[in-house]
Amino acid sequence: MKLTCLAAPGSGGGGGYHAPASHLLELEGLRLLLDCPIDLSALSAFAPVPLGADSGDAGDLIRAVPYYWSPAAVAATRAGGVDAVLVSSAMGMLGLPFLTRLSSFANTKVYVTEVAARIGKLMMVELVEMHSAFASYYGPDMAETPKWMDGEKLGKLLSLLQNIVIEDEGSDLSPLMPLYSAANIEECMQKTEPIKYGQEVCFNGMLMLKASSSGLELGNCAWSLKGPRASITYLPSTVFVSAHALDCDLNSLKENDVILFSDFSSLYVIDEDNENLSEHAMLCDDSMSRDDDFDEDENVQILCKNDDIAEEIERISFICSCIIDAIKSGGSVLVPIGRLGVILLILELLSETLHSSDMKVPIYMISGAAEKMIAFTNAVPEWLCKPRQEKLFSGEALFGHVELLKEGKLFMFPHLYSKGLLMEGALHCILPRLEP
């Protein structure tokens, strides 16, 4: 077995969810790519598209069509291709079209959960739509190497990518590339094989693959790989108990020869002093789990009683209280959010707060994917945590945004310049925005 870390979690300045880890695993004569993300932190080095004729001073920002950073895609290409790609989250598939458009990846299998595949496609489509606004303003970049790549502003971009060493002029910029097209996305999705949690897939007659919930987000998963000589579990971005997604399946951690994990956000429950465990990908053998003195039931109970939910709800409640205070003082609130689960929880708490305070405040959600994403969350009860599933059987709405829609308090628009949004002209609004 050979393992190569292509990108550490959050290496570009984001969190483990927004910039997930990526690894190249060689096992039983097969080469597997574990996640293929894009580091979106590079976008902050580019000036936004001006809204008017006067573009103003962009300072150190780059005035050009953005480029995107995906070291995993480049590493997989340099390796001569891969036999399969295992995707653990929607964010982990954003870089896939860079690969699947190449002829050397024509026979590569891509495995991803059904929910992550649908969310990932919506995110990729929205990313392409956002990128098209840059291309429309600046025009297509026909040069093989953009002018800004040879200028001083390149340093601004590289400083945002903390995993790059730029001490010498020979820095490798090959992972920095122009974005793919909508046609590349469709080609990518045709090569994916969506699966369910717990479904076993035999790959190449050598490996048994199985996806289990990792608890962090809808469709996120841990991968179990069982071969003739070794069993491995890949465990990225995990929480054991979730307020919306299906809880982490702890059975995926049992009877493994190797567990590969990174950004393990629930580890502090067992070992609060080990602060560096989430900073680097680690390999652990199974000696602890098979030790005679290891009390498995006791440790499972500790993990399942962690405060992940309580802390997340507490943080979201604080955000909601600040939103209400701003509205009461006559202001408006803009809330940029990335994770779908956080959006759903904020909308739910806002719904309860607005209802209890008898406040009539419109909520505008601006995203080309908002309508499809919100509708989608009400159609996947089997991917939700047990309390959410119980709501379905009792006839209740799975999430609070359903009531907001019924009451006419939640409005969704694809763009900031949408005609309907401009006609509303509301000053006192809460504006959650889905970001790819």
Using alpha carbons, list the distances in angstroms from residue 200 to 197, 204, 226.
9, 13, 10
Comparing 257 with 170, the larger pLDDT belongs to 257
CATH fold, domain 2-304, is: Metallo-beta-lactamase; Chain A (3.60.15)
- pLDDT score for 392: 86
Q: Give the DSSP H or E segment for 132.
A: helix 114-138
Where exactly are the structural domains of the chain?
A: 2-304, 308-434
Whether the model clears a pTM of 0.75, i.e. scores above it, the answer is: yes
pLDDT at 60 exceeding the cut of 90: no
Host H or E run for residue 112: strand 109-113
Domains 2-304 and 308-434 are alike in CATH topology: no
User: What pLDDT does 158 receive?
Assistant: 67
Q: Which residues contact 72 (CB under 8 A, 6 or more apart)?
A: 6, 7, 22, 33, 35, 36, 37, 95
Question: pLDDT digits over 12-44, tens only?
Answer: 444 466 778 899 999 989 999 999 999 887 788
Q: Which CATH number fits domain 308-434: 1.10.1840.10, 3.40.50.300, 3.40.718.10, 3.40.50.10890?
A: 3.40.50.10890
Residues in contact with 115: Cβ distance below 8 Å, sequence separation at least 6, in sequence order: 218, 219, 380, 383
Q: Is pLDDT of 86 > 90?
A: yes
**If pLDDT is split at 50, 70 and 90, which confidence band does 269 have?**
very low
Q: Evaluate if residue 294 carries a pLDDT over 50.
A: no
Residue 339: per-residue pLDDT: 82
At 201-228, the pLDDT tens digits run 999 998 999 999 998 899 999 999 999 9
3-class secondary structure per residue, the chain: CEEEEEECCCCCCCCCCCCCCEEEEEECCEEEEECCCCEHHHHHHECCCCCCCCCCCCCCCECCCCCEECHHHHHHHHCCCCCEEECCCCHHHCCHHHHHCCHHHCCCEEEEEHHHHHHHHHHHHHHHHHHHHHHHHHCCCCCCCCHHHHCCHHHHHHHHCCCCCCCCCCCCCCCEECCCCHHHHHHHHHCEEEECCCCEEEECCCEEEEEEECCCCCCCEEEEEECCCCEEEEEEEECCCCCCECCCCHHHHCCCCEEEEEEECCHHHCCCCCCCCCCCCEEEECCCCCCCCCCHHHHHHHHHCCCHHHHHHHHHHHHHHHHHHHHHCCCCEEEEECCHHHHHHHHHHHHHHHHHHCCCCCEEEECCCHHHHHHHHCCCHHHECHHHHHHHHCCCCCCCHHHHHHCCCEEEECCCCCHHHHHHCCCCCEEEEECC
Answer whether residue 169 shows pLDDT above 60: no
Indicate the pLDDT class of residue 171, thresholds 50, 70 and 90.
low
